Structure 1
Amino acid sequence: MSFKNIAEGIYYFDGAVNIGYVHKGTTGLLIDAGIDRSAVKKVIRYIEDNGMPLTHLFISHAHADHYGGAAFVREKYEVETWAPALESAIIENPVLEPLYLFGGNDPFPDVRNKFLEGPPVTIDIVVEEGTVHIGDIEAEVTILPGHSYRQATLTIDGVLFAADAYFGTEYLHKHRIPYITDASIQIDTLRKLLNVDAKGAIPGHGTYEEDYSSTVEKNIEYHEKLLTWVKSFIQENGEVSHEELVSAMCTAYEVEVTKIPAWLLYRTAVTAYVNGLIREGIVRSFLKDYKLTFALSTD
């Protein structure tokens, strides 16, 4: 993990999941907290060694790799903790993620792991979109769903902390089928990002760029390519069950999945592209032989 100072009082800690830090006046704001205490400990050590405060924590969304270290931060510091609506409910009750990924059934024991369920965290302030004051820091909150239901980004002094609203291109190709919840909504979010007034952006996974529009455009192109694949596969096969589609897409993109928790994430990711096509009226869903089935719309 490396520590990068990108503007006066604005830093990010470059790791598997980027963690932001902003210092202004007596306020020290941590933006996300990594997957566990070992990740965030390195950040806290840097802050302490440089005599900077830690007074507030902003959690962008309720995925464990972004809030898993938050409970440790709250144990060590009396930080006021902020998170967006709905995401806050999951962060405070983290079993909800394994539950929804598992279709509402009690999840198998191996599904309840630190990658899907972080320690519970009390949220002090539930935030909505708009201008907020976090201690001495003025920030613009933008709600950008698609990867998570009410994911929030922060823009501070022209720097956009984008969370997982977009991915660095290397991460798109690394995961092959990136985790999103609805491709149509995700593409809308990406187009909205292109209009955010910022002088640079830090994604949750990737590197800081002053001109990040090219990376956002590549995200749009990548999702559109996957939408085209799903549409073509359904068109070629006439009717496709949900499980057949998940299996075929993971096979086509050479996704290596051997464990149930990872498969649950990829099942959601694949379904996100069907969601997008259904939202656009291109694909319809129905039951056949007790199976969720997809076909092209007849309209």
Structure 2
Amino acid sequence: MNFIQLNNSCYYFQGAVNIGYVRNGENGLLIDAGIDKQTMKKVLKRLQGDNLPVTHLFVTHAHSDHYGGAEHLQSTVDVYTYAPKLEAAMLRHPIIEPLYLFQGNKPLPEMRNKFLEGKPIRVDEEIEQATYPFGDIFFQCYSLPGHSINQHGLLIDKILYAADGYFAEEQLHKHKIPFIIDAKDTLESLHKLKSIDCVGAVPGHGLFEEDFVKTVDANISYHLKLMNSIKSVIQEHEAGIYHDELVAEICTKWDVGDLNVPSWMLFRTAVTAYVTMLVQENTTELLINNYRLMIRENKKSSH
């Protein structure tokens, strides 16, 4: 991981999953905590080597690649921990993510890996979209749902830590179908990001950019392309298409590669997120046919 300074107070550890850091006098704020204990050990070693304090932690959302190292951090340093409402519940009870991905059934052991379930952590303060003090300065939280139920980004000293509110373009193409739980919220959050006054942004995955709006626009275009791809497959099946068959067709069309059970659950959730928006727009409808969930174009809406 490279430790990159952005201005007098703001830094980030650039890696597969970025970790932000902000210093204000004797206070040091980590933004997310990486995927595991080993990652956090490297972060602490670097900060201690540079004589930089760690007093606070802000977890942007409850996906384990962003909080998996937090349990080790809390057991090593007495950090005051912030997290968004709802996300905080999952941080305290991490089984919630594999539980919902496994359609509410008690998850099998293969669903309970470090990529889907980190160790539980303490949350000292549940935040919402508002301004909070940090030493003698403040940070502004922004609600950015869509990738998760109540993800928040953080703006401090003109640097936006955007979490997974958007992805670097290469990340979009790498994952083919990025994980989201709600397409409408995802698009609204992307447009919100463009309106935030800052000198640059750090995404959860990718490089800091001053002109990050172009990357956000690329995200919007990518999601709309995916949406139209799903919509066209639904329209091709006039009588309707079963949900699992739609997931299979889209995964094939977008060449996501071989999947195991946990990764298939992730892609199913993402495809369903776009279907949900189409249903909300009244262009698509859900029905039950032969005891199976079917998705069909809503022809009534076009008249």
Q: Measure, in 2, the Cα distance between the counterparts of 1:269 and 1:257.
A: 16
- Equivalent residue runs for 1:1-299 within 5 Å: 1-238=1-238, 239-297=240-298, 298-299=300-301
Counterpart AA for 2:291: Y
Question: What SS does the aligned partner of 1:286 have?
Answer: strand
Question: Deviation digits for residues 11-61 of structure 1, max 9, x if unmatched?
Answer: 000001000000011110000000001112111111100111100000000
Whether contact under 8 Å (2:34, 2:69) holds in the other structure is: yes
Counterparts of 1:280 and 1:24 in 2: how far apart (Å)? 46
AA in 2 matched with 1:154: L
**8 Å CA contact 1:85, 1:126 repeated in 2:** yes
Runs of 4+ deviating beyond 2 Å: 134-137
Q: Distance in 1 between matches of 2:297 and 2:134?
A: 48
Tell me if structure 2 keeps the 8 A contact 1:65–1:115. Answer: yes
How many residue pairs get matched? 299
Deviations 1:212-259 (A, max 9, x none): 000000000000000000110000112011100100000111112331
Q: Which amino acid aligns with 1:261?
A: P
Task: State the Cα distance separating 1:135 from its structure 2 match.
Answer: 3.5
Contact 2:24 2:134 in 1 (8 A): no
Instruction: Give the superposed CA RMSD.
Output: 0.8
Task: Verify the 8 A CA contact 1:257 1:263 in the aligned structure 2.
Answer: no
- Note the C-alpha offset of 1:9: 1.6
Q: Deviations over 1:90-111 (max 9, x none)?
A: 0000000010000111111110
Contact 2:9 / 2:157 at 8 angstroms: preserved in 1? no
Query: Match of 1:177, as an amino acid?
Result: I
Equivalent position SS for 2:44: helix
| Most deviating of 168-177 and 289-298 | 289-298
User: 1:134: Cα distance to partner?
Assistant: 2.9
Using structure 2 for the length normalisation, give the TM-score. Answer: 0.97
Q: In the aligned structure 2, how far is the partner of 1:2 from the partner of 1:18? A: 10
CA distance in structure 2 between the partners assigned to 1:9 and 1:206 by the alignment:
20
Contact 1:27 1:137 in 2 (8 A): no
CA distance in 2, matches of 1:97, 1:137: 34
The 1-side partners of 2:39 and 2:12 are apart by 13
Alpha-carbon shift at residue 136 of structure 1 (Å): 3.8
Q: What residue ranges of structure 2 are gaps of 5+ in the alignment?
A: none
Matches of 2:173 and 2:78 in 1, distance apart? Answer: 39
TM-score by length of 1: 0.98
Matching residue's letter, 2:158: G
Describe the SS at the equivalent of 1:287. Answer: strand
Structure 2: how far apart are the matches of 1:94 and 1:76? 20
Deviation track 1:76-124 (CA, whole Å, cap 9, x = no partner) reads 1000011000000000000000100001111111100000000000100
Q: Letter of the aligned partner of 1:246 in structure 2? A: V
Whichever residue aligns with residue 290 of structure 2, its letter is D
Could you tell me how far apart the structure 2 residues matched to 1:174 and 1:31 are? 24
Q: 2: CA distance between counterparts of 1:61 and 1:204?
A: 11
Structure 1: runs of 5+ lacking an equivalent = none
